[in-house]
Amino acid sequence: MRLFRSAAVIAAVVLALTPGLASAQVPRTLTDFGSPVFPAFEGWYPNGDGTATILIGYFNQNQEQEIDLPIGELNHFSPGEQDRGQPTRFEVGRAWGVFSIRVPDDFDGDLSWTIVANDQPITIPFTLNPAYFVSPLKDPANNNEPPTIRFTENGEGVTGPPIGVARTLTASAGARTEIGLWLSDVVPDTHVRESPRGRRPPMVLRWHVVRAPGTVAFEPEEHELESTDLQHVVTSVTFAEAGAYVLRAEALDATGDGGSGFQCCWTSALIEVNVTE
């Protein structure tokens, strides 16, 4: 049995109805339009330098409604600075490990995120309660580790949850821009490639929009890779309007979305793109 499974599943708030995680009961069914977006406290882990990282995602219950909420009354942290790097575009469904926040290791839990979608406010608090401790950088049951994303073939790798912006690029509105990434993974125990839901590819790269003033088109939006060896993957991206965008490159191994709820093993890298006319 993998460690910390119950904490990860509870913290997801998607299926759980744990008191205190949200200001309203989380439904068990999906809708097409008109439902709220739920922040998701996915756990925390120490960094070894006197700080801790809080891992955060969300669940947009609407299957047909992608929602934009600017930083402010409809999308804010409190107390203090409202902008903590959270998304302003909420894609449909569950989004794991979208961003993270570093706090002192004596953090007292006085911080919450509020999302008001379709006039329905949802607020969750964050804490360093030991019950929410997770291991996103290595699965303690089988030593599986997240894939690595590189922006150059021999460059420094990004592994695990996103810690700030990993790369800054420029592009022109309406023009196709190619973004190349190098992906690799080490799978010490091959049995993780199988799951009750069938075989998954050894690696998958998916693209997401975190912040955007306009439409973003990816071609393709997902790459399935049949090897964990270092591979170069190129995606064409078109930005409809000028402005500041933040994209998220998500590299999954065979454990699937969000590590199948265990917070390991997948990697997210945030890419800031400045788009001009």
pLDDT band (50, 70, 90) for residue 29:
low
- Residues, the chain: 277
Mean pLDDT across 3-12 = 35
Quote the CA–CA distance of 147 and 222 in Å, as a whole number: 15
Q: What is the overall mean pLDDT for the chain?
A: 86
Quote the CA–CA distance of 261 and 40 in Å, as a whole number: 12
Predicted pLDDT of residue 259: 80
pLDDT band (50, 70, 90) for residue 264:
confident
Quote the CA–CA distance of 38 and 18 in Å, as a whole number: 13
Predicted pLDDT of residue 224: 96
Residue 90's φ and ψ, nearest 5 degrees, are -115, 105
Is the pLDDT score of 23 beyond 70? no
Q: Which CATH number fits domain 148-276: 2.60.40.10, 3.40.140.10, 2.60.120.10, 3.40.50.620?
A: 2.60.40.10
Domain segments of the chain as ranges: 5-132, 148-276
Residues 6+ apart with CB under 8 A from 223: 204, 205, 206, 233, 235
pLDDT band (50, 70, 90) for residue 188:
low
Predicted pLDDT of residue 13: 40
Residue with tokens 């125990």: 189
> Between 18 and 192, whose confidence is greater?
192
Instruction: Give buried/exposed letters for 224-249 (b at 16+ CB in 10 A, else e).
Output: ebeebeebebebebbbeebbebbbbb
